[in-house]
Chain A
Amino acid sequence: MPEGLWTKCPDCNAVLYRPEVERSLEVCPKCGHHMRIRARARLESFLDEASFSEIGREVKPVDVLKFRDSKKYKDRLSQAQKATGEDDALVAMRGQLHGMPVMACAFDFEFMGGSMGSVVGERFVRAAEISLEEGIPLVCFSASGGARMQEALFSLMQMAKTSAALRRMKDSGVPYVSVLTDPTMGGVSASLAMLGDVNVAEPGALIGFAGPRVIEQTVRETLPEGFQRAEFLLEHGAIDMIIDRREMRDRIARVLAMLLQSPSPDVKRLQHA
């Protein structure tokens, strides 16, 4: 199997043609399993073609605590930057969705597990503040292990910071859609990701506060089937809907248009044709 051209679905084990997997947005064309997708690919496929521009790129991480575990945080950062081509774990963009102006951000799980530190918090807030100022919706795709430990209490405080910005969104009636993707845990789940006017999840995404291993060690019993998966959250009332990634654009556009009292995006497209 030539490296790069073919890949295997981790769920159904089908051998897949890589360009085809990319066309289907990293969703297995055979079984519909949702694989992880990088932040930039996510946003570029979600927003209208050539409609987007990045914001907050100038916000870059610093290591004020001089944190060091088995490795220096500084070194972990530059390693992650080199490996991913990103400066930090959140990408924010201004763009259009079916012609509707929106702000959209996405976590990059490849960058230190999508962990939330000061840069993630600041970029998210900048996107939210533009949303507020211009009265345009905010959509956030989360994929994160939680707070970034190397930024210690600064990372915890990003939960308060992002949630405070969302309080202003809520008060002003500008819609916020949170899309929880695999995985959304800890401090990200317990702040911005659960605060959508509409909370959406992708099929099979692991979503929760405490990680399954921590819970298992605490309660000393095996966890129920499907525990903390998107379908489990839907059943327990934590999220509004599960949307297949390939339909994400159209269905979020449809919901947003209704919340904004705008004509249906499908209707608009027909009129333009």
Chain B
Amino acid sequence: MNLNFLEFERPIAELEAKIEELRYVGDDNDLNISEEIRRLKAKSVSLTEQIFSSLTSWQIAQLARHPQRPYTLDYVAAVFTEFEELHGDRAFADDPAIVGGVARLDGRPVMVIGHQKGRDTKEKIRRNFGMPRPEGYRKALRLMQMAERFRLPIFTFIDTPGAYPGVGAEERGQSEAIARNLQEMAGLRTPIVCTVVGEGGSGGALAIGVGDRVLMLSYSTYAVISPEGCASILWKSADRAQDAAEAMGITARRLKELALIDAVVDEPLGGAHRDPDAMAATLKDQLLEQLGELDALETDQLLEHRYQRLMRYGNYKA
């Protein structure tokens, strides 16, 4: 089976394989065959619509981790222009699991920062599967503070399984690096728009996720712990990941209902990887719209709104 399809997409994959086969044997002039292809393609679309209209949380988690899914640098290339990557935390190292730099959005200078996963094995290892070490978060903070100095709005793109759990990361203060970003982002005197484009993995995601707007692509996820991690702790079995995914409410739609995020950015039929250009165009529109709203606020007002928004998080009786 084609590796671009997930298990629950098997019927679509089979149909697509059939279409390919017909294309291969068919003659362009054979009306019957092109008619059959047209019919099958329509069927494939409606089948996809049908399957994607009732995805489970666990299926969405798999889409969020899809190997073909666009990553931060893909969006940077498609949404922004003149991107110049800036490296290093000025203290220890450059962490390739987080990328950042200056770019233009519709001509306007901005700062972009995001987690970066690798596509092939070598790149995956170099990017540490998108799991940052403290120096990655410190680089992000350095760039955000630079954005504040030069009055550049900040766009962050979240896509990580989580902060890296390693000996060196602990020695160099993983907790402090994350905590510092949360504290500083709350008070940065420039607009911040955060978008979860893939996996929003816990503190490692939140460390570049505090801002004035939090958006999620429709098949991205955001959670306090991975479904597998949650299942192995609470159900004592990683096999219950599906139940954990459902119970935690990790999907964009659910989190919007709970008012934990501001907007859901619709993905093309079948997911962002099926049509990255369309995805990038929709995302760009959303980012411009959100920034436009934030532009209307004075800086003090912006910060007060951001603070009140953070203070509203939570559910309790009082």
Chain A residues with CB under 8 Å of chain B are 58-62, 64-65, 67-70, 118-119, 121-122, 125, 147, 149-161, 163-168, 170-171, 186-187, 189-195, 207-211, 214-215, 218-219, 221, 223-224, 227-228, 236-238
Contacts and interface: CB of A to CB of B under 8 A. Distances in A.
B171 A191 contact: no
B110 interface: no
A152 B179 contact: no
Contacts of A150: 234
A236 B184 CA distance: 22
Sorted nearest first, the 6 A-B pairs with minimum C-beta distance are: A210-B165, A118-B314, A163-B182, A164-B186, A69-B234, A157-B313
A173 to B, nearest CB: 14
B222 A153 contact: yes
A195 B184 CA distance: 11
Contacts of B234: 69-70, 149-150
A256 B230 CA distance: 40
Nearest to B240: A69
Contacts, number: 198
B223 A153 contact: yes
Contact of B170 (A64, A208, A221): A208
B249 interface: yes
A154 B315 contact: yes
B302 to A, nearest CB: 14
B249 A153 contact: yes
Contacts of A208: 170, 174-175
Given A153-B223, A159-B182, A195-B183, A227 B310 contact: no
B8 interface: no
B214 to A, nearest CB: 10
A210 B133 CA distance: 12
Nearest to A217: B165
Contacts of A227: 167, 170
A156 B179 contact: no
B173 A167 contact: no
Interface in B289-311: 306-307, 310-311
8 contacts: A58-B318, A147-B203, A151-B224, A153-B224, A153-B248, A160-B209, A190-B175, A218-B165
Given A153-B222, A159-B203, A68 B247 contact: yes
* Main SS class of interface, A: helix
B176 A191 contact: no
A16 to B, nearest CB: 33
Contacts of A161: 310-311, 313-314
A180 to B, nearest CB: 10
Contacts of A170: 183
Contact of B249 (A65, A168, A187): A65
A258 to B, nearest CB: 23
Contacts of A60: 316-318
Interface of B: 163-167, 169-176, 178-180, 182-184, 186-187, 202-203, 206-207, 209-210, 222-225, 230, 233-236, 243-244, 247-250, 255, 258, 260, 306-307, 310-311, 313-318
A236 B173 contact: yes
A199 B298 CA distance: 35
Contact of A189 (B175, B184, B243): B175
Given A149-B248, A209-B174, A209-B203, A160 B179 contact: no
Given A167-B183, A191-B179, A195-B180, A152 B249 contact: yes
B141 to A, nearest CB: 13
Nearest to B243: A69
Contacts of A61: 316-317
Given A59-B318, A193-B175, A209 B165 contact: yes
A53 B222 CA distance: 38
Contacts of B310: 157, 160-161, 164
A260 B161 CA distance: 43
Contacts of B235: 69-70
Contacts of A62: 315-317
Nearest to B186: A164
B110 to A, nearest CB: 22
B178 A209 contact: yes
Given A65-B249, A194-B175, A209-B170, A122 B224 contact: no
Contact of B175 (A157, A209, A219, A221): A209
B179 A224 contact: no
A190 B249 contact: no
Contacts of B164: 218
Contacts of A237: 173
Contacts of B176: 194, 238
Given A154-B258, A170-B183, A214-B165, 16 more contacts: A149-B233, A150-B234, A152-B250, A153-B250, A154-B260, A159-B203, A160-B186, A160-B210, A163-B179, A163-B183, A163-B210, A164-B183, A190-B182, A191-B182, A221-B167, A237-B173
Contact of A121 (B258, B260, B313): B313
B313 A158 contact: yes
Contacts of B209: 160
A103 B15 CA distance: 66
Contacts of B169: 209-210
